[in-house]
Structure 1
Amino acid sequence: MNADGAGGLVLVVEHDRAVAELQRRYLAREGYTVEIETDPARAPSAAGRLRPDVVVLDLSVASLPADLYRRVTEAAGGAPVIAVTAPPDQPAGRALGEYQVTRPFSPRVLVGAVGEALRSGGPGAGGEVLQAGGVMLDPRARTVMVEERSVALTVTEFDLLEFLMGNPGRVFTREQLLDAAWGPGAGAGSRTVDVHIAQLRSKLGESSPIRTVRGVGYVLDA
């Protein structure tokens, strides 16, 4: 845990100041040190500056929630991010991570979610190592090895590769891959998938198991 507090440092990103203060009080009672950011647009810079142990991220007013979640996750350096969403406008999908809280919720629910996230670790924690040919992906550590060589991927590249490696031999359309890695309504176009797949293939080199299925999409050959 972060040395700033007995329970660790929690960054609360919440547009409603009254709600943010309520969350701060309940978390502080449990021994957490809390920093509040009331502008979700500044969440990535706040996460990068503070390096918190966990982030509570308000996505209820974000126009592109999946994109904001992705940027905060990357800036947080592996710290778990709890997505706070407001149904029914924002479907809770894979692109918003494994830790999610839906409005309205009690502060005790949030405290429980923070504790669970800290016990479980960051994104992908607890997932089994995936392998396809010479490519090995560890969801828990969010690392990729190619023939014993470490490969650096962006958050989106990693999410795409993890999804494909978790479903070997299955052909996916570009639209399905958009939903899997970006989330419904993320605002990305199908051309974005082609660009990220090309970047993935370039980084994986000759060991890349990703194959184009002409006129359909992509498949990962196990």
Structure 2
Amino acid sequence: MASRRLLLVEDDVALSELVRFHFERDGWEVRQTGDGEEALIMADELHPGLILLDWMIEGVSGLEVCRRLRRRETTAQTPIIMLTARGEEEDRIRGLDTGADDYLTKPFSPRELVARATAVLRRSSPALTGERLEHSGIEMDIAAHRVRRDGKPIHLGPTEYRLLRYFLERPGRVLSRQQLLEAVWPHSEEIELRTVDVHIRRLRLALGEPDLIRTVRSAGYSLDGEGVA
């Protein structure tokens, strides 16, 4: 099952084997590498349902691997969790801003990592209801997990997709950062509110119309009723 296929990119052999053991015990199919260039090749060949990506790896850095994966149509929506020893807020924001959907600082609990991976995968899976959402030229086909703007495809990462869906289901409503955090992010109690701002910025860039999602000072964000700020 492709959705349970994991690409593990980690050059610490002992940690890699530990993570692999816990995921395989949970029923995942795991392929691994410690090299950034090889990870990019494997991502195209394997079509993994999830990528666990260490920041500090051989060759191309994990951050650059994440950036390149997000630029490719084949991996633009593949969930990515970054693993790193860099725990400062700016590093976490930088990782998320590059395209990661979640971020776990070393040392971590392998059981927690499996739980987070399962939650990210569950939230990124399309609903099978055939539902379609439309607003201001944006069309979201939930069954096909596709987004178009004025008939042209828009490629979103899993987090931006979930964020846009939440807005499309509530056009015109002002949604606080806390509301968005709890609705869109797994383990939201561990994620900072600033993370919402990072992904809102990425979503605006992808949509190509920054004013469509309006910032409401001291309140949050709103998908404007007519798409005009």
Coarse TM-score class (shorter-chain normalised): 0.5 to 0.7
What RMSD, in angstroms, separates the aligned Cα atoms of the two structures? 4.5
Flag structure 1 segments of 5+ consecutive residues without an equivalent.
Answer: 169-175, 183-192, 202-207, 211-219
- 1:34 is displaced (CA, Å) by 1.0
1:103 aligns with: 106
Residue of structure 1 equivalent to 2:75: 76
Whole-Å Cα distance in 2 between the matches of residues 68 and 140 of structure 1? 29
Looking at structure 1, the residues matched to 7 and 199 of structure 2 have their Cα atoms a distance apart, in angstroms, of 29
How big is each residue's C-alpha offset from its partner over 1:131-167, in whole Å with a ceiling of 9 and x where there is no partner?
A: 55223356896533345x3x223558x96xx88xx69
SS in 2 for 1:152: strand
More helix by share: 2
Return the match for 1:181 from 187, 202, 209. 202
Q: TM-score, normalised by structure 2?
A: 0.56
Q: 1:132 to 1:32 in 2, by over 3 A?
A: closer
Distance across 2 between alignment mates of 1:144 and 1:96: 18
Q: Which structure 2 residues correspond to residues 63-142 of structure 1 after superposition, within 5 A?
A: 65=63, 67-73=64-70, 74=72, 75-76=74-75, 78-85=77-84, 86-88=86-88, 90-92=91-93, 93-121=96-124, 132-137=135-140
Aligned length: 177
What is the one-letter code of the residue matched to 1:153?
I
Distance 1:9 1:64, change over 3 A: closer
Q: After TM superposition, give the deviation of residue 40 of structure 1 in Å.
A: 2.5
TM-score normalised per structure 1: 0.57
Distance 2:142 2:56 in 1: 27
CA contact (8 A) 1:81 1:99 kept: yes
Correspondence 1:221 to 2:228: yes
> How far off is 1:56 after superposition?
0.9
Q: State whether residues 40 and 58 of structure 1, in contact with CA within 8 Å, keep that contact through their aligned partners in structure 2.
A: no
Give the superposition deviation at 1:179.
Answer: 9.4
* Bigger Rg, structure 1 or 2: 1
Work out which of the residue numbers 42, 46, 50 in structure 2 matches 1:54.
Answer: 50
Identity rate of aligned residues, in percent?
A: 25
User: How far apart are the structure 2 equivalents of 1:63 and 1:52?
Assistant: 19
| Aligned counterpart in structure 1 of residue 13 of structure 2, from 13, 17, 23 | 17
